[in-house]
Amino acid sequence: MSQQSSQQPDTETTSLTIAGDAAVLARRYAKALYELAEEQSALDEVAAELRLLKTLGQTSAEFKQIMKHPRLTRAELVKVVRKITETGKLNVLTGNFLALVAQNRRLVHLSAMVDAFLAELAQRRNEFTAEVRTTQMLSEAQHEQLTAQLRQLAGGKVHLIVEEDTSLLGGLVVKLGSRLIDASVKSKLARLERQLKTLQGAA
């Protein structure tokens, strides 16, 4: 019995290895793009376009389907991302990067690559990206106010990626690097529910 169980694959270790490999891959692509963008004095433009692509990946069902479509050929994937580049009038560097990722069938890791690029930007230039989930899109004034507050917290320039999420019921959730700031109604209700359960258990 013990002999059989020792031969079974460790699924947890396997999944961690896969996740680790994906992270290494994302950093490799991101670092190459960062160095090229820095070389060509296009860091700000490329970073802004990558943030837009990340937002597209979060909000567009069509784009999500393209990234994960198992049957599209490499040529078809490249054609689609070239069209996105053309329509969005993206920097040549961003477009070529997208085409390379599509050619290598790595679009499923695009979000991780964007995160790795922005992490590199934060490390080298003290420039951060905050992912914001809110029940409705922020007004210009709210956007500026939140950016200013997060700038003070981060100690550097902050860019927002805003995603609409009606499941929060109200308020917002902000992810800034490793920090998670949850000021949503959903979170407050969950905390209240836990408190009530604790009180009932103590009664």
- pLDDT per residue over 119-140, tens digit each? 998 888 888 888 898 988 888 9
* Domain total of the chain: 2
Does residue 68 share a domain with residue 29? yes
- Which CATH number covers residue 33? 1.10.520.20
Are residues 168 and 82 both part of a single domain? no
Comparing C-alpha atoms, which of 34, 116, 43, 87 is closest to residue 95?
87
- Judgement on whether residues 113 and 142 belong to the same structural domain of the protein: no
Residues 50 and 105 in one domain: yes
Across 15-46, b (16+ Cβ under 10 Å) vs e yields: eeeeeeeeeebbbebbeebbeebeeeebbeeb
* CA distances, 162 to each of 25, 132, 169 (Å): 26, 5, 16
**pLDDT recorded at residue 198:** 76
**pLDDT at residue 199, rounded to an integer:** 66
pLDDT mean over 16-36: 81
Kindly tell me if the per-residue pLDDT of 4 is higher than 60: no
- What's the whole-model pTM score? 0.66
pLDDT tier for residue 178 given thresholds of 50, 70 and 90 = confident
Residue of 32, 162, 11, 9 lying closest to 93 (CA atoms):
32
The one-letter code for the residue type at 48 is A
Q: Is the pLDDT of residue 18 over 50?
A: no
Same domain (yes/no): 151, 121: no
Residues 60, 66, 67, 69, CA torsion sign: positive
Domain extent at residue 157: 127-203
Distance from the Cα of residue 28 to its chain's centroid = 16
**Residue 117 to residues 14, 17, 26, 142, Cα–Cα distance (Å):** 26, 22, 9, 27
Token look-up 């396997």 returns 14
Mean pLDDT of 163-180: 85
Report whether pLDDT(9) > 90: no
Q: Tell me 131's DSSP state.
A: E
115-152 burial, b at 16+ Cβ within 10 Å, e below that, comes to: bbbbbbbbeeeebbbbbbbbbeebeeeeeeebbeebee
Do the domain assignments include residue 3? no
Task: Return the pLDDT at 17.
Answer: 41
Average pLDDT over residues 176-187: 81
Question: Comparing C-alpha atoms, which of 105, 125, 122, 135 is closest to residue 177?
Answer: 122
**Average pLDDT of the segment spanning 8-20:** 44
158 and 138 both lie in a single domain: yes
Q: What is the pLDDT of residue 172?
A: 86
Q: Give me the pLDDT at residue 92, please.
A: 95
How many helices (H) and strands (E) in the chain?
9, 4
Both 77 and 176 in a single domain? no
Model confidence pLDDT, tens digit, residues 54-91? 888 888 888 888 888 778 899 999 999 999 999 999 99
**pLDDT value at position 203?**
55
In a domain, 4, yes or no: no
| Spatial distance between the Cα atoms of 52 and 47, rounded to a whole number of angstroms | 9
pLDDT, residue 41, reads 94
Residue 1: inside a domain: no
Q: What confidence score (pLDDT) does residue 11 get?
A: 40
- Same domain as 133, residue 119: no
Of 105, 125, 145, the residue that ends a domain is: 125
Query: Of 125, 155, 178, which closes a domain?
Result: 125
Sequential DSSP letters for 88-120: HT--HHHHHHHHHHHHTT-GGGHHHHHHHHHHH
Which of the four pLDDT bands, split at 50, 70 and 90, describes residue 6?
very low
